[in-house]
Structure 1
């Protein structure tokens, strides 16, 4: 039975405990706010000035190899470094709490072609990206317990280089989001002896209203608690806790669903759809990770068109998140757009 959510209400995020205010009636208000230039796709597959293109020299004077598929290198301006200076010292203070943080930051070029984002790559090319994510995770997991694989797509999301790429940051401290998700999944498992996201997948498959795409191994939904207009949650349907556990079939299936999801995004407003996305793996310092399920979050900012962005301001910054478009309506829009890229 289809549920009606067209009234003002709040929804709770099962993974971090935060609430979002949903106000569907606000979709009828006139828009007089600011617009931003849409993220446009590039026309050329090589840029001599791009530090990520094959054969070009980066800011640190290192030259990229003439790579064919993906290319990984240490971030020239990484937010994390493996070691600290000898004189690094943090004061021990009851009010001003801090701790030292070390780690590694890497850049992952998705393709040699300067103008091809994920939705414009073939499934085989996206499979190379997935394989790189996995190999990098395995390598870094020998030294770090918390590994974040993510992508910022488009200038609207602060991406400084147009060449399609992602990043991977690894460290031994628990990031705040991973800590929250671990606590809530562990609490749910202790109470029900089943994984929170395992049960959530089953609930979404019953209701169907928020499902965007589903294949044998993966499910994409606009999560019940979504705060961004076209936010999605990509869930592994199998009992998998980290990227390192993916077998060949799961990895191939992931490449297929990533291509379809990102094509659907581009087709919503016929533009190169900006977003921030990232994988949440179980932290590797757990004695038992059975309460975890591998998943990725996609947070796109576009609201009404390729140039109108959702801003988290005012109430969102000072109280809690708020959205106008219900998750069910957003999922319906994503389901109904074509699966052939608008450029084709």
Structure 2
């Protein structure tokens, strides 16, 4: 893999990732851009002990532009984009409208609440462009290109984890207007958080309790149980397994686990990365053949936090869709939104069977 680093007109970092060592990209961004906002802040919710990111400047971010004005396509004479190159394989750059910033400044005003501490919204948000083809899907990538994306995730996870103050790195893809995606070009994002996210913190609490009670690893036990049952399994390769979790929250949900326990993407071997890419592409293509139209989905990498002294983390990918039938979406209604108590409309065993049959 060849990595090329440059900067955009406003000082943000841009990285190109190529399989061809001879690949060359322009080093100059000809645009004139305003400075990126550094006013993000964090406020602690005293009822849940969870940090909430405040980024009011994001109200003005780019929203569903026409294809000819897409900011993630390669630059051309008529459209100077975030990527000042006539072509690229994988490109990653700092978000122009970040929720978190390494240059975040202290808030100007105090919230005047003794139970709500406020601090600068330190961190980093990056955009990951999987391909220069605006009309492609991740599922359209070759195994080689999908593996390059995994290598890029690994590169960024390793580098962002070294930033003083970063506690967790989250790589993810959101696809489909149904879940709020504002740019149609195939892309994902990476967040480097200055805290451990609520879901990870809760998973670690449960994993710790399971270890204290049984002496075993929770994720390994889940994996063993799914493989033994078989009814929710989609596929097993040399290095990975894919299954619908027995207590799936979403209408269509699949978890992908490496058979070898690792905490983060950088720990995967070259063989494990390539094997994952092939399996993931297969699952995505099954997703898109489940109904008459491609499924909107979120693909979320669950990596251990930077500090995991008790080694409770087990890397896995959670892939899920909000579409519950061909023409209906799963909305987070009263129970889900108000109480975080999910109601699932389809049995995991039925979804697994349908995905296997595709």
What's the TM-score once normalised by structure 2's chain length? 0.76
CA drift of 1:64 comes to 2.8
The aligned counterpart of 1:242 is 264
The CA distance in 2 between the partners of 1:58 and 1:272, in whole Å, is 30
Alignment of 1:281-320 (within 5 A): 281-289=303-311, 291-305=312-326, 307-319=327-339, 320=341
CA drift of 1:317 comes to 2.8
The CA distance in 1 between the partners of 2:79 and 2:310, in whole Å, is 42
The aligned counterpart of 2:291 is 269
Aligned partner (choices 240, 259, 273) of residue 251 of structure 1: 273
The aligned counterpart of 1:210 is 232
* 2:242 maps to 1:195: no
The CA distance in 2 between the partners of 1:326 and 1:217, in whole Å, is 27
By relative contact order (CA 8 Å, sep 6+), the higher-ranking structure is 1
SS in structure 1 opposite 2:343?
Answer: strand
The aligned counterpart of 2:19 is none
Q: Deviations over 1:117-162 (max 9, x none)?
A: 1111111111111111111111111112200101110111111111
The aligned counterpart of 1:175 is 197
Q: Deviations over 1:73-123 (max 9, x none)?
A: 111111111133255465574443544431000000001111111111111
SS in structure 2 opposite 1:124?
Answer: helix
Q: Deviations over 1:194-238 (max 9, x none)?
A: 210101100001101111122121111111111111111111211
Aligned length: 290
The aligned counterpart of 1:222 is 244
The aligned counterpart of 1:160 is 182
Closer/same/farther in 2, CA of residues 57 and 245 from structure 1, 3 Å limit: farther
The CA distance in 2 between the partners of 1:167 and 1:259, in whole Å, is 18
Does the 8 Å CA contact 2:100/2:124 hold for their aligned counterparts?
yes
The aligned counterpart of 1:326 is 347
SS in structure 1 opposite 2:174?
Answer: strand
The CA distance in 2 between the partners of 1:58 and 1:200, in whole Å, is 52
The aligned counterpart of 2:282 is 260
CA drift of 1:326 comes to 0.6
Closer/same/farther in 2, CA of residues 93 and 116 from structure 1, 3 Å limit: same
The aligned counterpart of 1:134 is 154
The CA distance in 1 between the partners of 2:219 and 2:208, in whole Å, is 11
* 2:75 maps to 1:72: no
Aligned partner (choices 253, 262, 270) of residue 231 of structure 1: 253
Aligned partner (choices 85, 91, 104) of residue 84 of structure 1: 104
Which runs of no fewer than 5 residues in structure 2 stay unpaired? 1-65
What's the TM-score once normalised by structure 1's chain length? 0.79
Does the 8 Å CA contact 1:217/1:238 hold for their aligned counterparts?
yes
The CA distance in 1 between the partners of 2:73 and 2:81, in whole Å, is 14
The aligned counterpart of 1:342 is none
The CA distance in 2 between the partners of 1:199 and 1:71, in whole Å, is 37
CA drift of 1:56 comes to 5.1
The CA distance in 2 between the partners of 1:188 and 1:89, in whole Å, is 44
Does the 8 Å CA contact 1:56/1:63 hold for their aligned counterparts?
no
SS in structure 2 opposite 1:231?
Answer: strand
SS in structure 2 opposite 1:260?
Answer: helix
Does the 8 Å CA contact 1:49/1:56 hold for their aligned counterparts?
no
SS in structure 1 opposite 2:195?
Answer: coil
